[in-house]
Amino acid sequence: MDRSQIHPQLLADCHYLGSVRACEVLLNRNAVLPWFILVPDTHITDLLDLPEHHRDVVMADCAAISGFIKQVLGYAKVNFGGLGNLVPQMHLHIIGRSEEDPCWPNPVWGNLSVVRHYEQMELLGWQADLQKMMDLVPADL
């Protein structure tokens, strides 16, 4: 899969960081929370419908992003979800949460009114860290 195969709404809402084993890695443009979105390389729309081996690799990619959020970014809590009600392409949300975030303890959807934008150096740093940690093939930012 490449950037052209990712749903346009996801690309409008996110920075495209690159590819890992089974997914494309996106980062929500709002830097208030580390909100990653993984887009598995499939035309199947629901995670639980993936063949077991493919699902296992996708989940390993999700777990690696969760590890990055906890180990590198220092978040103790990670929310995970795969909704796809508005964007039909399968995409999985992995979000670092803390008691200090602006919508705690509520879900981020519909409750994140604060906006901060990523600096280019921050994006490049995270991309480099993900490249080391999980063999991210980086995209041009």
| Six token digits for residue 63 | 């777990």
- Return the domain boundaries, the chain: 3-133
Taking only the tens place, the pLDDT of each residue in 80-121 is 999 888 899 999 999 999 999 999 999 998 899 999 999 999
Q: Answer yes or no: is pLDDT of 20 > 90.
A: yes
Q: Which pTM does this prediction carry?
A: 0.96
Q: Answer yes or no: is pLDDT of 2 > 90.
A: no
Please report the pLDDT score of residue 85 as a whole number: 83
Please report the pLDDT score of residue 83 as a whole number: 85
Whether the Cβ atoms of residue 89 and residue 4 lie closer than 8 Å to each other:
no
Please report the pLDDT score of residue 74 as a whole number: 97
Give strand ranges (E) for 20-85. Answer: 23-28, 35-40, 77-81
Task: Give the C-alpha separation, 116 to 131, whole Å.
Answer: 24
pLDDT band at 7 (very low <50, low <70, confident <90, very high): very high
End-to-end CA distance of the chain: 17
The tally of CA atoms less than 13 A away on the side-chain side of residue 11 is 10
Q: Answer yes or no: is pLDDT of 3 > 90.
A: no
Q: Which CATH class is domain 3-133?
A: alpha beta
Residue type, 32: V
Whether the Cβ atoms of residue 37 and residue 92 lie closer than 8 Å to each other:
yes
pLDDT band at 6 (very low <50, low <70, confident <90, very high): very high
Task: Give the C-alpha separation, 40 to 75, whole Å.
Answer: 24
Spell out a b/e string for 67-93, using b for 16 or more CB atoms within 10 Å of the CB, else e: ebbeeeeebeebeeebebeebebbbbb
